[in-house]
Amino acid sequence: MKKFALLLLLTLSFVSCSLEDDNRPTFHYEILPIDSYVVPDTFNFGTTHQLKLFFKFPTPCHSYGGIYFDRYLNERVFAIQSIVEDRQNCLPYEDNNNELREVIVNFEVISSQTYLFKFYKGKDEEGNNIFEEVEIPVNSD
């Protein structure tokens, strides 16, 4: 009888603890465009340079999630990663209430070849990614 009571108690404790918690916030990730940037005209080989990226959150449900960064040879792609809370009241900001935010990227120059930077600007009408490209030569002196 004691074993039955213990088994019943254990079963009830597992049933009462649901893994599906409807009160916890849900979220998803979204890539945001870079509105503007400040980069040097040239790089010095073997040094680290600061790149300033400016962006806006489209709604109050967006928060900063990091930098999207991809590279292939001397090509670098940058965008803003955001975390978006899935809430019902996420209305877009009006332009005058949407402040420009800044993030600084420390970029280490490890190649003596010219770098091609691609800054994500959004999508066109057909859903294709749009990039603004900047070539930055490297001084090897």
Where is average pLDDT lowest: 15-19, 65-69, 79-83, 114-118? 15-19
pLDDT given for residue 96 in this prediction: 63
Identify residue 88 by its one-letter amino acid code.
Q
DSSP letter string, 1-35: -HHHHHHHHHHHHHHHS-S--TTS--EEEEEE---
Per CATH, domain 26-139 is 2.60.40: yes
- Can you give the residue ranges of every domain in the chain? 26-139
Q: How confident is the model at residue 19 (pLDDT cuts 50, 70, 90)?
A: low
The bridge status of strand 27-32 relative to strand 75-85 is antiparallel
Q: Which of 123, 137, 128 is nearest to 32 (CA)?
A: 123
Nearest by Cα to 82 from 50, 56, 54? 56
pLDDT average, residue stretch 50-61: 94
The tens digit of pLDDT for each residue in 87-101 reads 888 888 877 667 899
- Per-residue pLDDT band at 4 (split at 50, 70, 90): very low
DSSP codes of every residue in 90-137: -PPPPGGG---EEEEEEEE---SSPEEEEEEEEE-TTS-EEEEEEEE-
